[in-house]
């Protein structure tokens, strides 16, 4: 049994009777026990729940019933997505003991499709970070080098999927938090169009930017998982009521005549030379497959980082005001209510969360609102207009996903600006609300993954999946396995 099997192989094994769901999930947990001490991908495990669900699916198969499109597929769920009866902490002491009584919409969809939740994955606290070093419960290692970061904030899911501890995973993306760790861990990560996937049950960071999306090892699995979680949900007022296309049908491999825009602003200064070379080589392979490259300019790109780090902290300041020790979560008692709130927030939030709350509160304060937050929102409109207008002349936009490969633990933690620059290539898609996908396109000389990113038109995830699948089918990068875990196949 290959622990790195894709969805199609798992389903074929189950329906043919070669492997039961119980046998597969048992092998997965054995693999987790070997790998997890080095990586720390998970904050909570779901052994008992997964085994019970596996037995139910096995019985369903024996009875001749359809077990679901993701039957028996091990999935890792980021710890900011509510899971009924399973601890959900957002990697914060503020929610350390919180056990939801309901499932988020995407988790409901997973359960209904037969997927098995392996556990809840580590992340930057309240999704604020780019390295999964801001967790209140320890750091996560990169599957390709455990001494390096897996990216963030969905680093735990990226590490779990990349190391074979799960076949697929869910993350959330506010400024690149699916795509950047996907790039650093050598997997596929997709941020859908804002409104394509329900955010019901997602612990909010910045509501106008947050989006839930798939993290997988192959583009086909990404399409399959998106098919399951996409669609209208009346409980999320920002979820758009549009038909969900057949994403698997888009994987036809035909990109002849496809116009790929290559923005000059995403290449050059600040981009690691090995990353630059790998992305350009990948684009040439797409040209060889029939695509056309067009040089473009996204003029407001230099202002994206500044705009994002005003808008996101401002929304975080508002969203996290609910954690006051009164309603739910941590409470540090004191005779005076104001002292109780102050002590609770001081003890419950980590340094990065406090930093962003302070930035956001300042940006929203009287006398500064229009100068900072208002200006950032106007810049956001210009960034979106740049991208939307450009996508009228090209079919997709191609860039590096991360300007640099995975850095060592602790390398950037003392310099917040250097850490924020890790997201320089991904933030624009969140500001514009457009879909974006990252996939593996090579390795550095030291064996670290490099990511290639595509941005597409709103609600046109099919085009991103089509071009990504066309590239993947012409290369073998996605077939490589991390040296640290490749020998751990049962």
CATH number of the CATH domain containing 188: 3.90.1300.10
> Does some domain include residue 55?
yes
Catalytic position from the list 5, 41, 44, 78: 78
Percentage of the chain with pLDDT > 90? 94
Known active-site residue 78: yes
231 within some domain: yes
Residue 163 bears catalytic tag = no
pLDDT exceeds 70 at position 485: yes
Could you tell me the pTM of the whole model? Answer: 0.96
Tens digit of pLDDT for each residue in 389-408? 999 999 999 999 999 999 99
CA 382 to chain centroid, in Å, comes to: 25
Q: CB 319: neighbour CB atoms within 10 A?
A: 18
Beta strands across the sheet bearing 436-443: 42-45, 116-121, 74-78, 168-172, 212-216, 188-191, 436-443, 449-455, 396-400, 259-263, 292-296
Question: Which one of 135, 154, 163, 177 is the catalytic residue?
Answer: 177
What is the DSSP code string of 331-359? ----SSHHHHHHHHHHHHS-HHHHHHHHH
| Known catalytic membership, residue 198 | no
What 3-state class would DSSP assign to 262?
Answer: strand
Q: Does residue 43 carry a pLDDT above 90?
A: yes
Q: How many CB atoms within 10 Å of residue 421?
A: 17
Interval 93-124: pLDDT, tens: 999 999 999 999 999 999 999 999 999 999 99
| Residue 401 maps to a domain | yes
What's the domain range around 432?
A: 7-264+389-486
Does residue 154 lie within any of the structural domains?
Answer: yes
Q: Is the pLDDT of residue 56 over 90?
A: yes
Give the per-residue pLDDT at 486.
58
- Our count of domains for the chain comes to 1
Query: 126 in a domain, yes or no?
Result: yes
Of 104, 153, 198, 317, which residue is the catalytic one? 153
Predicted confidence (pLDDT) per residue in 440-461, tens digit: 999 999 999 999 999 999 999 9
Look at residue 37 and tell me if it is in a domain. Answer: yes
Assigned domain for 304 exists: no
Q: Which of 220, 57, 32, 2 is nearest to 118 (CA)?
A: 32
Question: Does residue 21 belong to any structural domain of this protein?
Answer: yes
- Residue 414 is predicted with a pLDDT of 86
pLDDT of residue 253: 87
């Amino acid at each position: 049994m290959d622990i790195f099997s894709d969805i199609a192989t798992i389903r074929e094994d189950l329906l043919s009777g070669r492997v039961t769901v119980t046998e597969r999930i048992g092998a997965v947990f054995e693999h987790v026990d070997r790998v997890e001490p080095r990586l720390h991908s998970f904050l909570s495990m779901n052994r008992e729940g997964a085994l019970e669900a596996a037995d139910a699916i096995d019985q369903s198969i024996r009875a001749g019933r359809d077990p679901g499109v993701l039957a028996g597929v091990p999935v890792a769920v980021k710890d900011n997505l509510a899971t009924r009866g399973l601890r959900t902490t957002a990697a914060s002491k503020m929610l350390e003991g919180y056990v939801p009584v309901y499932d988020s919409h995407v988790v409901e969809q997973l359960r209904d499709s037969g997927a098995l939740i392996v556990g809840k994955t580590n992340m930057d606290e309240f999704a604020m970070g780019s390295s999964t070093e801001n967790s209140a419960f320890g750091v996560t290692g990169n599957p390709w080098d455990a001494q390096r970061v897996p990216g963030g904030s969905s680093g735990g899911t990226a590490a779990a999927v990349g190391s074979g501890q799960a076949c697929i995973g869910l993350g959330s993306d506010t400024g690149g938090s699916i795509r950047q760790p996907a790039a650093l861990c050598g997997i596929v990560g997709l941020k859908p169009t804002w409104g394509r996937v329900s955010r019901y049950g997602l612990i909010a960071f910045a509501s106008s930017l947050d989006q839930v999306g798939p993290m997988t090892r192959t583009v086909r699995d990404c399409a399959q998982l998106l098919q399951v979680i996409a669609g209208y949900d009346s409980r999320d007022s920002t979820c758009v009521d549009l038909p969900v296309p057949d994403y698997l049908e888009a994987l036809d491999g035909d990109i002849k005549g496809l116009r790929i825009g290559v923005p000059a602003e995403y290449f050059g200064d600040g981009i690691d030379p090995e990353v630059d070379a790998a992305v350009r080589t990948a684009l040439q392979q797409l040209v060889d497959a029939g695509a056309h490259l067009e040089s473009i300019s996204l003029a407001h790109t230099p202002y994206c980082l500044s705009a994002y780090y005003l808008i996101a902290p401002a929304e975080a300041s508002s969203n996290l005001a609910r954690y006051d020790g009164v309603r739910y979560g941590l409470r540090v008692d004191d005779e005076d209510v104001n002292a109780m709130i102050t002590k609770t927030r001081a003890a419950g939030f980590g340094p990065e969360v406090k930093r962003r709350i302070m930035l956001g509160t300042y940006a929203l304060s009287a006398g500064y609102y229009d100068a900072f937050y208002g200006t950032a929102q106007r810049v956001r409109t210009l960034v979106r207009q740049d991208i939307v207008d450009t996508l009228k002349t090209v079919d997709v936009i191609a860039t590096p996903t991360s300007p640099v490969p995975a850095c060592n633990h602790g390398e950037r933690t003392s310099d917040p600006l250097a850490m924020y620059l890790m997201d320089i290539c991904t933030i624009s898609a969140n500001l514009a609300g457009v879909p974006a996908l990252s996939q593996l396109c090579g390795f550095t000389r030291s064996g670290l993954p490099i990511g290639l990113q595509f941005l597409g038109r709103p609600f046109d995830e099919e085009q991103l999946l089509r071009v990504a699948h066309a590239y993947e089918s012409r290369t073998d990068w996605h077939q490589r396995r991390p040296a640290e875990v490749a020998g751990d196949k049962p």
